[in-house]
Amino acid sequence: MAHPHEWFTRDRFGLFIHFGLYSTLARHEWVMSRERTSPEEYEKHTAFFDPDRFDAPAMARAAKRAGMRYAVLTSKHHEGFTLFDTALSDYSSVRACGRDLVREFLEAFRAEGIRVGLYFSLIDWHHPDFTIDYHHPLRDRPDARELNAGRDMARYRAYLHGQLRELLTGYGKIDYLFYDFTYVDPRDGWEGKGPEDWDSEGLLAMTRELQPDIIVNDRLWIPGDLVTPEQYQPDAPLERDGAEVRWEACQTLNGSWGYDRDNLGHKSPDLVIRMLVDTVSKNGNLLLNVGPDGRGAVAPHDLRSLESIGEWMALHERAVIGAGAARWDAPSGAVFTRRDDRLYLHLFTWPFGHVHLRDLAGKVRFARLLHDGSQLRTSEIAPDQQAWNTEPGGQPAGTLTLHLPTVRPEVAVPVIELYLEPGA
């Protein structure tokens, strides 16, 4: 019987959607904290929350065309504003504009056959019992410590658990829960917040009780089902105590998760594709973010990026979905992924004439460029062959040499598919 989490490792590529009240301000999802805005002042923006262009079916279709197999939406970010119908607060999209955006998201993505996840913030700068700390927007007020005297994290914990219960019981099967985040270290004279502040053990137990097959990340600061490196690419498969662990790289298309109008540091589609295959080559997943604008639309630049990624995925999906690390070392400027009896060489740079693959001689039945299925000639060059005129020098024993066309294929990352001999 298949393990309920096998889908995650197989599917490899997901869409993250950061949307909230902060999107209308267009200055990063942490704008409330960065600009030290009081909850009372920040809450006034709900009058202008009008996501008339939030089109979940269109987002789902764009994700599917990009080759993504799962998606995660921010049901509530640190600002405390929920995109779902909650009986525990009036601070929600349902009260602000009459729309349950979580339900719209879930229904649309399920309809496209895409697995669904929800991001949920453990932090809530709007809630009156959430104690002020070094991330809180009120931290610089001269009476900040006095204000904490009347705040009660036990009441906040009950609220936190109550909203999670609403999400996990009122919206059908949820495949993935992305909690965010715990910060245990003290800073600037303030204490952080740890698992005891959230009752992480109780929260995780409730999550698993209500959704037995769900996959949960590690940001409760207790062991979860995967680890979540953010905004960097690990240089090797991730391990804990010497054992490989399931992991997912969380990456933005520019430098922000929420809509940030003036952040123009966009990653190019070919960079994102290289990040994706690099991640899979190390047995990881890539969760790639878009931040819809103040009206709920995915920015044209982001849509174009997803379309470009989709063009590549349409030809090369089998080298990513269901693939993982290979046991051979790839040559410089390339990575390997493997799926069953196929080995995939992703060429980040295009060599002239030949590429040499150590320890693969006698292990490959057939080689071809994946995008068009065209055969590549292979050979073995004897180790003692002297380089002379048009004859290349010898290669170490066991090296397989691929003979490449001079002209680089017109795809973002060329991929060579190698059919392995049985047992290789």
**Residue 114 and residue 155 share a domain:** yes
For the segment 212-230, the average pLDDT, to the nearest whole number, is 96
Model confidence at 241, pLDDT cuts 50, 70, 90, reads: confident
Q: What is the CATH number of the domain that holds 91?
A: 3.20.20.80
CA distances from residue 165 to 116, 196, 308, 409 in whole angstroms, order as listed: 17, 19, 39, 51
The residue-averaged pLDDT of 394-399 equals 95
Give the distance from CA 19 to its chain's centroid.
15
Q: What is the DSSP letter of 183?
A: B
pLDDT at 394: 93
197, 157 contact by CB (below 8 A)? yes
Q: Is residue 329 part of a domain?
A: no
Interatomic CA distance for residues 345 and 277, integer angstroms: 10
Q: Are residues 273 and 160 in the same domain?
A: yes
Residues 208, 162 within the same domain: yes
The pLDDT assigned to 294 comes to 98
| 258 and 375 part of one domain | no
pLDDT value at 1 more than 80? no
Q: Domain end: 319, 353, 375, which one?
A: 319
CA distance 219 to 217: 6
pLDDT band at 391; cut points 50, 70, 90: confident
Longest distance between any two alpha carbons in the chain, whole Å: 84
Q: Are 82 and 75 in contact (CB under 8 A)?
A: yes
Helix (H) or strand (E) run with residue 311 in it: helix 300-316
Q: What is the pTM of this model?
A: 0.97
Give phi and psi for 144, each to the nearest 5. Answer: -60, -40
Is residue 328 domain-resident? no
Residues 207 and 352 reside in one and the same domain? no
Retrieve residue 293's tokens: 């604008």
Taking alpha carbons only, the member of 319, 306, 280 closest to residue 417 is 319
Question: pLDDT band at 195, cuts 50/70/90?
Answer: very high
- The number of folded domains in the chain is 2
261 Cβ contact list (under 8 Å, min separation 6): 26, 27, 293
Within a domain: 31: yes
Mean pLDDT on 358-369: 98
Q: What type of residue sits at position 215?
A: I
pLDDT of residue 9: 95
Q: In terms of C-beta density within 10 A (0-12 exposed, 13-18 middle, 19 or more buried), how is residue 21 classed?
A: buried
**182 and 95 part of one domain:** yes
Question: Per DSSP, which regions of 312-405 are E strands?
Answer: 334-339, 342-347, 354-357, 364-369, 377-379, 400-403
- SS3 of residue 415 by DSSP: strand
Residues 197 and 266 occupy one common structural domain = yes
The answer to whether residues 316 and 411 touch, using CB atoms and an 8 Å cutoff, is yes
- Is pLDDT at 2 greater than 80 in this prediction? no
Query: To the nearest whole number, what is the mean pLDDT of the chain?
Result: 97
Distance CA(421)–CA(70), nearest Å, equals: 33
Q: Which two tokens stand for residue 281?
A: 């080559």
**191 and 262 belong to one structural domain:** yes
| Within-domain flag for 189 | yes
Q: Inform me whether the pLDDT recorded for 389 exceeds 90.
A: no
Q: Does the residue 324 lie in any domain? A: no
Cβ atoms 404, 355 nearer than 8 A: yes
Which pair of tokens denotes residue 279? 């991640």
Helix (H) / strand (E) containing 211: none
- Least confident piece of the model among 219-223, 330-334, 384-388: 384-388
Residue ending a domain, among 295, 319, 343, is 319
**pLDDT 10s digits, 77-130:** 999 999 999 999 999 999 999 999 999 999 999 999 999 999 999 999 999 999
Residue 381 resides in a domain: yes
Average pLDDT over residues 215-223: 97
Give the C-alpha separation, 116 to 120, whole Å. Answer: 13
Query: Does residue 393 sit in the same domain as residue 291?
Result: no
Quick one: what percent of the chain has pLDDT higher than 90? 97
Nearest-angstrom CA–CA distance, 273 and 344? 14
Q: Give the domain range for residue 386.
A: 334-420
> What pLDDT, on the 0 to 100 scale, is given for residue 38?
98
Pairing of strands 115-121, 70-76: parallel
Q: Is 327 within a domain?
A: no
Whether residue 208 lies inside any domain: the answer is: yes
**DSSP secondary structure of 79-101:** T--BSS--TT-S-BHHHHHS--H
The Cα-based distances of 83 to 51, 100, 163 in angstroms read: 11, 6, 12
| pLDDT at 31 > cutoff 90 | yes
For residue 389, the 8-state DSSP code is T
At 249-308, the pLDDT tens digits run 999 999 999 999 999 999 999 999 999 999 999 999 999 999 999 999 999 999 999 999
Kindly state whether residues 315 and 352 are assigned to the same domain: no
230 within 8 A of 275, measured Cβ to Cβ: no
Would you give the end-to-end CA distance of the chain in angstroms? 26
Report how far residue 101's alpha carbon sits from residue 96's, in angstroms, rounded to the nearest whole number. Answer: 11
Q: What is the CATH number of the domain that holds 376?
A: 2.60.40.1180
**Amino acid 138: pLDDT:** 98
Final residue of a structural domain among 319, 347, 371: 319
* pLDDT given for residue 367 in this prediction: 98
Judgement on whether residues 306 and 366 belong to the same structural domain of the protein:
no
Query: What is the reported pLDDT for 198?
Result: 98
The pLDDT confidence band at residue 240, using thresholds 50, 70 and 90, is confident
Tally of CA atoms within 13 A in the half-sphere of 250 that contains its CB: 19
Looking at the structure, do residues 358 and 290 belong to the same domain, yes or no?
no
Structure confidence at residue 46 as a pLDDT band (50, 70, 90) = very high
